[in-house]
Amino acid sequence: MPNLGALREEYLRGGLSRENLNENPIEQFSTWFQQALDAEIAEPNAMTLATVDPENRPWQRTVLLKAYDEHGFVFYTNYESRKAKHLLTNPHASILFPWVTLERQVIINGIVEKVSTAESLKYFVSRPFSSRLGAWVSQQSSVISSRSLLEAKLQELKNKFKDGDVPLPSFWGGYRIKPTDIEFWQGGAGRVHDRFLYSKASNGNWEIDRLAP
Ligand SMILES: Cc1cc2nc3c(=O)[nH]c(=O)nc-3n(C[C@H](O)[C@H](O)[C@H](O)COP(=O)(O)O)c2cc1C
């Protein structure tokens, strides 16, 4: 095994202070997201999504953020996938943006609901032909015997939808995570990092606390 104990970086990009924080966490997220784009980090909208199964076991996977605003954070997936089954019995989810090259992470917890069919359709038709077919090809998370099954299915679908008009599958669409807690983490020198947690109060306002690193 390589000497993992010796792998250590000092986080020197600069701290995060209460006075520089936006009172609104969505606007704060927007600022950081733009900075992630400007820094040209790979897949800045890739996020780890955690869900919980009926036995209370957490599961994680990467999905892509496709929209965000004050109503929440949207990703698209298969409504019959493992994650979808978890969300049916437990709508709590957690997402994490691992913007490690910026010495940052953002963690968002919330309650998930499906987006409207109209919203899913609007996004679906904006996807390239291959991605629209991709949504049809796979019964996501089911056990399959070989890759060739998928390739045969893809060929069949290419013929079926050769005019390019691919309908929105009823089993595919978006979820919106309506945030209840949003934490911004910025690495600091000597492992003295900055963490700020925005929590949604019952009156709908966001409260901000500094957390120990
Ligand atoms: C960079 C990256 C982006 C991904 N984006 C998505 C996505 O937006 N939607 C999706 O359903 N799966 C996406 N996946 C695949 C998921 O990680 C996962 O394999 C799939 O959704 C099945 O998860 P589940 O079995 O837990 O439901 C992505 C994987 C990677 C590595």
Tens digits of residue pLDDT in 145-180: 999 999 999 999 999 999 989 999 999 999 999 999
What is the predicted pLDDT for the residue at 12? Answer: 83
pLDDT exceeds cutoff 90 at 137: yes
Cβ neighbours, 10 Å, residue 166: 20
User: CA-to-CA distance for 186 and 195, rounded, in angstroms?
Assistant: 6
Cα-to-chain-centroid distance, residue 136: 21
Ligand 1-lining residues (CB < 6 angstroms) = 43, 46, 59, 61-64, 75-78, 81-83, 140-141
Q: How many domains does the chain have?
A: 1
Choose one of 62, 76, 137 to mutate for the ligand 1 pocket test, by most ligand atoms within 8 angstroms of C-beta.
62
Q: Could you tell me if residue 157 is inside a domain? A: yes
| Ligand 1 center–CA 62 separation, angstroms | 5
Residue 22 lies in a domain: yes
pLDDT at residue 59, as a whole number: 98
The catalytic residue positions are: 191
Greatest CA separation for the chain: 60
* 203, part of any domain: yes
Task: Find the 60 Cα to ligand 1 centroid distance in Å.
Answer: 9
| pLDDT value of position 205 | 97
Quick one: pLDDT band at residue 4, thresholds 50, 70, 90? very high
Q: Is residue 23's pLDDT more than 90?
A: yes
pLDDT in tens, 86-136: 999 999 999 999 999 999 999 999 999 999 999 999 999 999 999 999 999
Please, are residues 30 and 45 in contact by the beta-carbon 8 Å criterion?
A: no
Q: Which domain holds residue 83?
A: 12-28+38-211
pLDDT in tens, 44-85: 999 999 999 999 999 999 999 999 999 999 999 999 999 999
Domain contains 4: no
- The terminus-to-terminus CA distance of the chain in angstroms comes to 29
Is the confidence at residue 14, as pLDDT, over 90? no
Q: What is the DSSP secondary-structure string of the chain? A: ---GGG------S----GGGS-SSHHHHHHHHHHHHHHTT-S-TTEEEEEEE-TTS-EEEEEEE--EEETTEEEEEEETTSHHHHHHHH--EEEEEE--GGGTEEEEEEEEEEEPPHHHHHHHHHHS-HHHHHHHHH--TT---S-HHHHHHHHHHHHHHTTTS-PPPPTTEEEEEEEEEEEEEEE--GGG--EEEEEEE-TTSPEEEEEE--
Q: Atom 7 of ligand 1 has which residue's CA nearest to it?
A: 63
- Closest CA to ligand 1's atom 10: 77
**Per-residue pLDDT band at 15 (split at 50, 70, 90):** confident
Amino acid identity of 33? Answer: F
- Give residue 194's pLDDT: 96
Q: Any idea what the CATH number is for the domain that residue 133 is in?
A: 2.30.110.10
Q: Does 5 map to a domain?
A: no
- Atom from ligand 1 closest to the CA of residue 61: 17
Residue 137 forms part of a structural domain: yes
Does residue 136 sit within a domain? yes
Atom of ligand 1 nearest to the CA of 77: 11
Decide which of 73 and 10 is more confident. Answer: 73
* Contacts with 67 (C-beta within 8 Å, 6 or more apart), sequence order: 73, 74, 123, 174
171 domain residue, yes or no: yes
User: How far is ligand 1, taken at its centre, from the CA of residue 87, in Å?
Assistant: 15
